[in-house]
């Protein structure tokens, strides 16, 4: 599904990612771990199409398409979803309005008619139930005045509504209490099926108690320095990133 | 010397007109009005029209607008104009009591002045001059100082009619009162409209002031409203400005507040060649408060100027200014907010905020929030921002599949919503909300669809921005 080959990325001439390669297939969950400032968020932004990052080398192929040629919104319409580490507050735009606009634009991209209001509202109720969300989200402005946990839950709710093929969750667990962590994990696990894939970016192993990854990669100093199975996360938690450093 | 007189042509025409039309101007004046008129005329002769060399007019050049060969309507038109014929109100579910001015003159069907069962009086200011001399004597010309501003002096010298509203003590007016100022003429008109609103103790009023033009001739409206809020009175005031490209609108508001009174004034400016809102609030009784809000969405060569002066004359009052604007193309804007906290006005809370988004590098804003404080126990803040659309938010919205152009509109709408949401009349808020959306999509022009007589009525609330038309 996603094939990153020898990707090097810099911002303002400073190299952040070096020669990163990653293969993600449908049905898989990948965890990318690593200390702060090693390029984890950069990787997620480059996949999602944020401006300001210069790809100096390598390529990203997604469902057979050269992802780097697509705009941010085209990537979203192709099924890429980024769960933000710091979701942006948009006062004045209700979640209902925001999501309906997003869904309709994605439908338009696929040549579909706009979703009827009733179906949309039913879908919202259904997804809220699925994630066990009790908040009255509909009329609140996107992320405005949300607590850290609410923001992250709202990211997962958006993910559930948009039904992406490839989800990248950037530090979705940071700053979460156990309850919020469970909502996030339930969301990912419930939405997980053979046709989609998830990349979970995390600093701690804790989230991986709830979301069991198929593969774990360690990003260090802009490079993927180690890849392995789910057991590697535990080892990493136990020995710390110093262990990786020592191996290099 | 500050009084370098320009536009002498128009000025001398007006001076001659004043003398020639004495019979019409003074014909129905009481002694009080005559004195005020004469004094104002002297002030106008001394002050003349404002020009860009004056600090308060640095950002707004009227030279072009004043060079037009205007005509003046000195005589009242035939009475019994059928309001329905010139004007139709189609705001859905918006029950209002409508009072209108056509080319500066009060329009009425039966009587020039209506007295309601609760004691409220609404009608023609010209008639009120004669029928309510005590109220006029006490309030008229008392808040709009003619000695400083040429345009205020000009208005006071020539003002003949306008809208008069009096709400007696302890009356809550349930209906929204809608003041409509229509310009409909095949000539280029210069109008001096004048309004007086008096709220007695503990009375409450909602007032919507709409400016509208029907044809596309050049017009210059110099409107002055004086508003008096008695003790514990409250006024919810709105100005809706959707003018055509040929209009210059100077809308000056002078508000005097007694103890415990509350003012909320919100100016929504959507179109207009030149719009200048002067708002002067005097907080003269303790525990009074004034909220002054404004939203302006300007493009092409449109110009908006908001001048706000709040005078904290006594302790324990509160004022709060929030003005937001989006300027596109070559549009230009001015914000000049001045809060004066006098020596004795302890425990004042005063806040000023002006936020702007400039969409092009040709659009300009000149913003000057200014606090002048002589008391030492106060909480005051001021701030201004000028920026482009938030790039983090743009990326966030686009990452959900929303196109760049729609993301921009969504963000602009969100930016404007903070002011729109302060409108406390739900039907009006909904309507303005729709107009703002249309305006941002480029579907609302200056055409003859003001907030009040829109022929393409919209269906009710489908709260979404389907921006397929962008």
Digit-by-digit pLDDT tens for chain B (470 residues) are: 333 444 568 999 999 999 988 888 888 778 889 999 999 999 999 999 999 999 899 999 999 999 988 988 887 765 555 666 655 555 555 667 888 888 888 887 667 889 999 999 999 999 999 999 999 999 999 999 999 999 999 999 999 999 999 999 999 999 899 988 888 778 899 999 999 999 999 999 999 998 766 666 788 999 999 999 999 999 999 998 887 778 899 999 999 999 999 999 999 998 888 999 999 999 999 999 999 999 999 988 999 999 999 999 999 999 999 999 999 999 999 999 999 999 999 999 999 999 999 999 999 999 999 999 999 999 999 999 998 888 999 999 999 999 998 998 889 988 998 999 999 999 889 888 888 888 888 766 544 333 333 333 332 222 333 333 33
Residue with tokens 């002045």: B113
DSSP 8-class letter at B304:
E
**Residue (of B179, B160, B192) closest to B87 by Cα position:** B179
**Residue (of B431, B386, B436) closest to B410 by Cα position:** B436
pLDDT tens sequence across A160-183: 999 999 999 998 877 777 877 888
**Residue (of B239, B251, B249, B245) closest to B215 by Cα position:** B245
Q: What share of chain A is helix, strand, coil (3-state, %, to 5)?
A: 40, 30, 35
Other beta carbons within 10 angstroms of residue A53's beta carbon come to 17
The CA-atom distances, in angstroms, between A122 and each of A115, A153, B180 are 11, 19, 44
CA distance A96 to A94: 5
B462/A101 Cβ within 8 A: no
ipTM: 0.95
B393/A90 Cβ within 8 A: yes
Considering only CB atoms, A73 lies closest to which of B391, B401, B417, namely B401
Nearest residue of B to residue A108, measured between CA atoms: B468
A96/B421 Cβ within 8 A: no
A117/B417 Cβ within 8 A: no
B398/A72 Cβ within 8 A: yes
CA of B356 to nearest chain A CA: how many angstroms apart? 16
Considering only CB atoms, B413 lies closest to which of A92, A102, A103, namely A92
In B, which residues are within 8 Å of A94 by CB distance?
A: 463
In contact, A93 and A110? CB cutoff 8 Å: no
End-to-end CA distance of chain B: 52
Which of B394, B400, B417, B437 is the best residue to mutate to test the A interface, defined by the most A CB atoms within 10 Å of its own CB?
B400
Chains A, B: CB pairs < 8 Å: 93
Which residue numbers of A have CB closer than 8 Å to B's CBs? 48-51, 71-73, 75-77, 81-82, 84, 87-88, 90-94, 96-106, 108-109, 114, 117, 141, 158, 162
Task: Please state the pTM of the whole predicted model.
Answer: 0.82
Burial class (CB in 10 A: 0-12, 13-18, 19+), A229: exposed
Nearest residue of B to residue A107, measured between CA atoms: B401
Other beta carbons within 10 angstroms of residue A26's beta carbon come to 14
Q: How far is CA B221 from the centre of its chain?
A: 11
In B, which residues are within 8 Å of A92 by CB distance?
A: 413-418, 421
Q: Are strands B189-191 and B219-229 parallel, antiparallel or unpaired?
A: parallel
Torsion of CA B448, B451, B452, B457, to 10 degrees: 80
DSSP calls for B318-331: EEEEEEEEEE-TT-
Considering only CB atoms, A101 lies closest to which of B395, B396, B465, namely B465
What values do phi and psi take at B309, rounded to 5?
Answer: -125, 120
The CA-atom distances, in angstroms, between B117 and each of A52, B108, B230 are 67, 19, 21
**b/e burial code for range B415-453 (CB count within 10 A of at least 16 → b):** bbbbbbeebebeebebbbbbbbbbbbbeebebebbbbbb
Nearest residue of A to residue B419, measured between CA atoms: A92
CA distance B304 to B327: 9
CA distance A238 to B274: 69
How long is chain A?
248
Specify which residues B240 forms β-bridges with: B210, B268
Which of B394, B396, B433 is the best residue to mutate to test the A interface, defined by the most A CB atoms within 10 Å of its own CB?
B396
Name the strand (E) or helix (H) holding B245: none
A73/B398 Cβ within 8 A: yes
Six-digit token string for A243: 């262990």
Nearest residue of B to residue A105, measured between CA atoms: B402
């Amino acid at each position: 599904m996603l094939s990153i080959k020898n990707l090097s990325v810099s911002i303002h001439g400073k190299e952040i990612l070096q020669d990163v390669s990653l293969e993600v297939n449908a049905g898989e969950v990948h965890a990318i771990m690593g200390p702060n400032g090693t390029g984890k968020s950069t990787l997620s932004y480059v996949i999602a199409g944020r401006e300001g990052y210069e790809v100096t080398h390598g390529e990203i192929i997604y469902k057979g398409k050269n992802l780097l040629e697509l705009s941010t919104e085209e990537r979203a319409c192709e099924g890429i979803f980024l769960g933000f580490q710091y979701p942006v507050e948009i006062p004045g735009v209700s979640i209902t309005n925001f999501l309906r606009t997003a869904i309709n634009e994605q439908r338009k991209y696929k040549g579909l008619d706009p979703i009827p209001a009733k179906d949309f509202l039913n879908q919202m109720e259904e997804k809220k139930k699925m994630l066990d969300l009790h908040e009255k989200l509909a009329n609140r402005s996107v992320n405005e005045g949300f607590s850290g946990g609410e923001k992250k839950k709202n990211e997962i709710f958006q993910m559930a509504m948009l039904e992406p093929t490839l989800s990248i969750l950037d530090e979705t667990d940071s700053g979460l209490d156990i309850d919020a962590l469970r909502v996030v994990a339930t969301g990912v696990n419930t939405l997980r099926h053979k046709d989609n894939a998830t990349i979970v970016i995390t600093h701690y192993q804790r989230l991986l108690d709830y979301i069991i990854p198929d593969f774990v990669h360690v990003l260090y100093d802009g490079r993927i320095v180690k890849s392995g199975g789910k057991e590697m996360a535990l080892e990493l938690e136990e020995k710390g990133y110093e262990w990786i450093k020592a191996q290099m | 010397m500050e009084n370098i007189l320009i536009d002498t042509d128009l000025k001398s025409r007006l001076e001659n007109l004043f003398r020639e039309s004495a019979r019409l101007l003074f014909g129905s004046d009481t002694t009080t009005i005559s004195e005020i008129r004469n004094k104002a005329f002297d002030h106008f002769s001394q002050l003349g029209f404002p020009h860009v060399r004056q600090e308060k007019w640095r950002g707004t050049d009227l030279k072009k607008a004043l060079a037009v060969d205007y005509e003046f309507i000195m005589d009242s038109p035939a009475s019994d104009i059928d309001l329905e014929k010139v004007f139709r109100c189609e705001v859905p579910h918006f029950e209002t009591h409508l009072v209108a001015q056509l080319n500066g003159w009060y329009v009425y069907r039966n009587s020039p002045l209506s007295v309601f069962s609760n004691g409220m009086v609404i009608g023609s200011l010209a008639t009120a001059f004669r029928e309510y001399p005590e109220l006029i004597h006490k309030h008229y010309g008392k808040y709009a100082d003619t000695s400083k501003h040429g345009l205020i002096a000009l208005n006071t010298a020539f003002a003949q009619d306008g809208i008069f509203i009096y709400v007696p003590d302890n009356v809550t007016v349930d209906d929204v009162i809608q003041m409509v100022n229509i310009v409909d003429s095949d000539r280029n008109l210069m109008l001096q409209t004048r309004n007086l609103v008096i709220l007695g103790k503990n009375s409450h009023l909602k007032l919507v002031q709409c400016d509208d033009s029907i044809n596309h001739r050049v017009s210059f409206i110099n409107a002055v409203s004086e508003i008096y809020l008695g003790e514990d009175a409250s006024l919810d005031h709105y100005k809706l400005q959707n003018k055509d490209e040929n209009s210059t609108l100077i809308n000056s508001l002078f508000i005097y507040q007694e103890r415990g009174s509350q003012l909320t004034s919100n100016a929504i400016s959507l179109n207009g060649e030149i719009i200048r809102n002067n708002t002067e609030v005097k907080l003269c009784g303790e525990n009074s408060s004034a909220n002054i809000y404004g939203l302006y969405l300007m493009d092409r060569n449109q110009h908006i100027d908001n001048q706000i002066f709040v005078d904290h004359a006594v302790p324990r009052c509160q004022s709060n200014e929030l003005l937001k604007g989006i300027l596109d193309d070559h549009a230009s804007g001015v914000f000049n907010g001045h809060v004066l906290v006098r020596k004795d006005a302890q425990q004042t809370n005063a806040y000023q905020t002006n936020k702007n988004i400039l969409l092009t590098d040709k659009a300009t804003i000149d913003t000057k929030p200014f606090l002048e404080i002589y008391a030492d126990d106060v909480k005051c803040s001021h701030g201004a921002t000028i920026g482009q659309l938030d790039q983090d938010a743009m990326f966030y919205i686009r990452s959900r599949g929303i196109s760049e152009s729609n993301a921009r509109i969504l963000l602009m709408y969100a930016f404007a919503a903070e002011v729109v949401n302060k409108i406390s009349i739900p039907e009006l808020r909904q309507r303005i909300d729709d107009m703002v959306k249309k305006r941002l999509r480029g579907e609302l022009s200056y055409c003859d669809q003001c907030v009040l007589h829109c022929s393409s009525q919209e269906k009710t609330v489908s709260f979404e921005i389907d921006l397929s038309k962008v």
